[in-house]
């Protein structure tokens, strides 16, 4: 992919072509001059690696609306130097051997970038350690992704974990044989994240979500590139986006407060009885909204599944269950419950939720999984 048939350099034109391939073509074409200016003026390189994940966070980024990825590139002067998924062509062969230069072989390009250091590293997807410590459940070329991550992490000026898999292990962590972890956390445990596991040290910012919101990611990148400190919560998430519960500003909150918690997918009632986890999901989705601020999960009729939380998805499954028969909210401690109590006390209508959070209607005490 590139200017020429076999040119792998991720130039303006090749970036446009790659983005077009995943559905953002019209927008990209309309804004091509901005991209040209952005890349021409770039003074920081972005290296984007993907481990164990679905690629949805890349698709989400490329479909960003406000700021769109191109406006953001222009503003933050970011050069997308390497992207695992957009650089579809992995290299060309010369006389039966892989080309040995960075223009024609993406492995060489990546190695050059790693050697030069100072890039912003975005990790998408979890980092499996299995089987038996080899990391070979997730390969990147001839290397395990684990090996690649260990090589790439130290030279980064900052690491941004994009999406819940990269931040906490996410869906990949559901399968214990993979022994997958996020960059700095495995679920709620920082000690079991890949950084601690492999003895690495670096600044890590978690931008969870399944997928992550393009604005969260782009605004974090903008802050990083501008040299601003990002204020993080105990799970490494920017407080600016992940402090308030979805429930606090949900468009269905009025129905909840009126005890109308038996809404159906197709009506305007509260979705609590359908398993909504909005009271324990901390994200600004109701105010930011998705897809160009058009809507968000509960507005569109789907219960929040707490996709931004470290214990997602395991602690919140089945998604469409209130948890009366399951320990859905077991991975919480008193701080979490207190947050809900504060919100509930204000409106005087949240006792039901608090009771379930603190004890569970199964009578089981919460385990205090959050630290
Ligand atoms: S329980 Fe869910 S649907 Fe109901 S008000 Fe809270 S966030 Fe909205
Ligand atoms: S509303 Fe809930 S499930 Fe939907 S994106 Fe936000 S945190 Fe994730």
pLDDT 10s digits, 128-176: 999 999 999 999 888 999 999 999 999 999 999 999 999 999 999 998 8
Q: Tokens 């030279």 appear where? A: 155
Pocket of ligand 2 (CB under 6 A): 209, 246, 281, 283, 285, 296-297, 304-308
pLDDT at residue 112 in the model: 93
Q: Does the C-beta of 256 come closer than 6 Å to ligand 1?
A: yes
Q: Does the C-beta of 16 come closer than 6 Å to ligand 1?
A: no
Higher pLDDT: 66 or 98? It is 98
Q: Which atom of ligand 1 is nearest to the CA of 281?
A: 7
pLDDT at residue 328 in the model: 40
**Which ligand places an atom closest to the C-alpha of 216?**
2
Q: Does the C-beta of 281 come closer than 6 Å to ligand 1?
A: no
**Is the pLDDT at 297 greater than 50, yes or no?**
yes
pLDDT at residue 99 in the model: 77
Q: Does the C-beta of 277 come closer than 6 Å to ligand 1?
A: no
**Is the pLDDT at 100 greater than 90, yes or no?**
no
Q: Does the C-beta of 193 come closer than 6 Å to ligand 1?
A: no
How much of the chain exceeds pLDDT 90, in percent? Answer: 48
pLDDT at residue 14 in the model: 52
pLDDT at residue 78 in the model: 73
Q: For 174-185, what is each residue's pLDDT tens digit?
A: 988 899 999 999
Record the pTM: 0.78
pLDDT at residue 358 in the model: 32
Residue nearest to atom 6 of ligand 2 (CA): 285
Higher pLDDT: 116 or 329? It is 116
**Which ligand places an atom closest to the C-alpha of 296?**
2
Q: Which residues contact 318 (CB under 8 A, 6 or more apart)?
A: 275, 326
Mutational pocket test of ligand 1: of 255, 278, 316, 321, the residue with most ligand atoms within 8 Å of the beta carbon = 278
The CA distance from 257 to 148, in Å, is 50
Q: Rounded mean pLDDT of 337-349?
A: 36
Q: Does the C-beta of 276 come closer than 6 Å to ligand 1?
A: yes
The CA distance from 335 to 227, in Å, is 31
pLDDT band at residue 116, thresholds of 50, 70 and 90?
A: very high
pLDDT at residue 72 in the model: 67
Q: Which residues contact 169 (CB under 8 A, 6 or more apart)?
A: 126, 180, 181, 182, 185, 186, 187
């Amino acid at each position: 992919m590139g200017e020429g048939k076999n040119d792998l350099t991720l130039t303006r034109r090749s970036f446009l072509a790659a983005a077009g391939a995943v559905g953002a073509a019209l927008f990209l074409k309309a804004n091509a001059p901005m991209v040209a200016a952005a890349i021409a003026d770039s003074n920081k390189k972005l290296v984007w690696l993907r481990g164990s994940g679905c690629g949805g966070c890349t698709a989400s980024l490329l479909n960003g609306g406000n700021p769109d990825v191109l406006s953001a590139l222009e503003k933050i002067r970011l050069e997308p130097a390497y992207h695992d998924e957009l650089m579809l062509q992995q290299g060309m062969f010369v006389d039966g051997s892989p080309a040995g230069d960075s223009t024609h072989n993406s492995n060489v390009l990546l190695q050059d970038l790693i050697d030069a250091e100072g890039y912003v590293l975005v990790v998408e997807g979890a980092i499996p350690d299995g089987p038996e410590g080899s990391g070979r459940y997730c390969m990147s070329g001839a290397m395990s992704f684990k090996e690649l991550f260990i090589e790439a992490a130290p030279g980064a000026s900052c690491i941004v974990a994009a999406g819940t898999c990269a931040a906490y292990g996410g869906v990949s962590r559901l399968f214990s044989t993979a022994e997958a972890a996020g960059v700095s956390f495995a679920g709620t445990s920082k000690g079991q994240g890949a950084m601690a596991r492999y003895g690495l040290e670096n600044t890590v910012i978690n931008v969870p979500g399944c997928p992550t919101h393009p604005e969260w990611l782009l605004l974090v990148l903008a802050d990083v590139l501008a040299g601003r400190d990002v204020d993080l919560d105990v799970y490494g998430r920017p407080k600016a986006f992940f402090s308030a519960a979805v429930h606090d500003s949900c468009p269905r909150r009025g129905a909840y407060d009126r005890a109308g918690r038996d809404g159906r997918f197709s009506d305007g009632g509260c979705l609590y009885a359908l398993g909504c986890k909005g009271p324990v999901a901390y994200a600004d989705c109701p105010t930011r909204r998705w897809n160009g601020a058009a809507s968000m999960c509960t507005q569109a009729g789907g219960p929040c599944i707490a996709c931004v939380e470290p214990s997602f998805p395991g602690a919140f499954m089945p998604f469409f269950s209130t948890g009366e028969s399951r320990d859905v909210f077991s991975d919480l401690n008193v701080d979490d419950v207190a947050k809900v109590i504060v919100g509930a006390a204000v409106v005087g209508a949240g006792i039901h939720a608090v009771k379930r959070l603190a004890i569970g209607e199964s009578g089981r005490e919460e385990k205090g999984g959050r630290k």
